[in-house]
């Protein structure tokens, strides 16, 4: 079906999958622990390089522990995602949870990497010796970096704000820059909108904070669809209304909530007929609108062709007043 969600259901993440994905950093970490414990045994063989040996072991601890934490964070994100599926019609709660979890997962990974890198630098004595002088100039450097990176910082906090307030969620249907599509990814520095024709629109998070946009699934995935038909004044409104009900009753696209047909406008040549119907999701609503439009036009063509829009020209036959026969 057109516009169908292409998100693949994830398999349930069990305990064995958690162990398997974190096994390698755990093994390396345990090996380093064993080596550290047995350092007195190894020391006589490397007594001239014991400081270098201990330094390498400490760096290994930092790398393996960071690696383990990152793997653990990603496994936790996958585990939660596997329990909240969004390829179902009623997925509002799942989209709320997934949006928060994915943004928080990225924040935690960035924090782990930053802490690991800082700890790695602190293992070098020369860097620690320069710490005092660097600290003294940190205020000036911080101000300079703040001005240079204010756009990036604003983007980062906009992404964090979206995760908390959730004006958009994963798989929300939105209209951005006059393009209709789904929210495919929410990152701290950019958001990916999957357009209906499979193009990707990359938007900064600040866009959804600073500019107005349409979110069709903010509170519910259900949506109303409209179809406009223009017909002649002779069009049988009640018959068209009955045909609309028959069309909707014979399709699974309709959620059986709203069915209405009204004359919403009249011009000197035609009348405007609006058919209103409901569907469970916006992609289904699009398919339903196309179906109803096609069926109603066919219905008028086959049963009431005189109801189709037309232009009339009336010509009066004028008789001559001089008594001559019209020639």
pTM of the predicted structure, to 2 decimals:
0.51
pLDDT at 90 over 70: no
**Nearest CA-CA partner of 64 in 108, 28, 22:** 28
Q: % helix / strand / coil in the chain, to the nearest 5? A: 55, 15, 30
User: CATH fold of 223-307, please?
Assistant: Alpha-Beta Plaits (3.30.70)
State the average pLDDT over residues 128-139.
51
pLDDT at 315 over 70: no
Residue 275 forms beta bridges with which residues? Answer: 227, 261
Provide the pLDDT confidence category of residue 95 given band limits of 50, 70 and 90.
confident
Alpha-carbon gap, residue 29 to 27, rounded angstroms: 5
pLDDT tens digit sequence for 98-113: 877 888 888 888 888 8
pLDDT tens digit sequence for 247-269: 999 999 999 889 999 999 998 88
pLDDT tens digit sequence for 227-253: 999 999 999 999 999 999 999 999 999
Alpha-carbon gap, residue 250 to 239, rounded angstroms: 17
Alpha-carbon gap, residue 23 to 29, rounded angstroms: 10
**Residue ranges per domain, the chain?**
15-128, 223-307
Q: Find the helix or strand (DSSP H, E) in which 149 lies.
A: none
Q: Burial of 250 by CB count in 10 Å (0-12 exposed, 13-18 middle, 19+ buried)? A: exposed
Alpha-carbon gap, residue 291 to 296, rounded angstroms: 9
The CA-CA-CA angle for residues 14, 183, 251, to 5°, reads 90
Alpha-carbon gap, residue 71 to 258, rounded angstroms: 48
The token duo for 92 is 């509002």
């Amino acid at each position: 079906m057109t516009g169908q969600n292409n998100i693949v259901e994830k398999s349930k993440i069990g305990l064995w999958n958690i162990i398997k994905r974190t096994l390698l950093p755990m093994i390396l970490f345990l090996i380093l622990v064993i080596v550290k414990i047995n350092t007195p045994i190894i020391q006589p063989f490397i007594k001239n390089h014991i400081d270098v040996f201990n330094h390498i072991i400490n760096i290994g601890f930092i790398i393996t522990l960071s690696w383990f934490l990152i793997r653990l964070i990603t496994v936790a994100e996958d585990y939660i995602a596997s329990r909240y599926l969004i390829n179902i019609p009623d997925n509002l709660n799942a989209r709320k949870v997934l949006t928060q979890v994915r943004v928080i997962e990225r924040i935690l990974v960035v924090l782990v990497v930053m802490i690991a890198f800082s700890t790695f630098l602190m293992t070098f004595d020369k860097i620690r010796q320069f710490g005092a002088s660097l600290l003294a100039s940190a205020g000036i450097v911080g101000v300079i970096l703040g001005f240079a990176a204010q756009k990036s910082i604003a983007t980062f906090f906009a992404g964090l704000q979206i995760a908390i307030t959730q004006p958009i969620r994963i798989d929300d249907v939105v209209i951005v820059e006059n393009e209709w599509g789904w929210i495919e990814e929410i990152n701290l520095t950019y958001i990916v909108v999957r357009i209906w024709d499979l193009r990707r629109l990359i938007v900064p998070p600040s866009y959804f904070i600073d500019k107005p946009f349409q979110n069709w699934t903010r509170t519910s995935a259900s949506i109303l669809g409209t179809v406009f038909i223009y017909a002649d004044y002779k069009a049988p409104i009640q018959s068209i209304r009955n045909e609309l009900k028959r069309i909707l009753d014979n399709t699974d696209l309709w959620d059986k909530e709203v069915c209405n047909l009204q004359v919403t406008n009249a011009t000197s040549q035609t009348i405007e007929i609006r058919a209103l119907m409901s569907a469970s999701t916006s992609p289904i609503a699009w398919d339903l609108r196309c179906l109803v439009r096609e069926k109603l036009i066919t219905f008028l063509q086959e049963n009431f062709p005189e109801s189709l829009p037309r232009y009339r020209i009336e010509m009066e036959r004028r008789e001559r007043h001089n008594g001559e026969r019209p020639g």
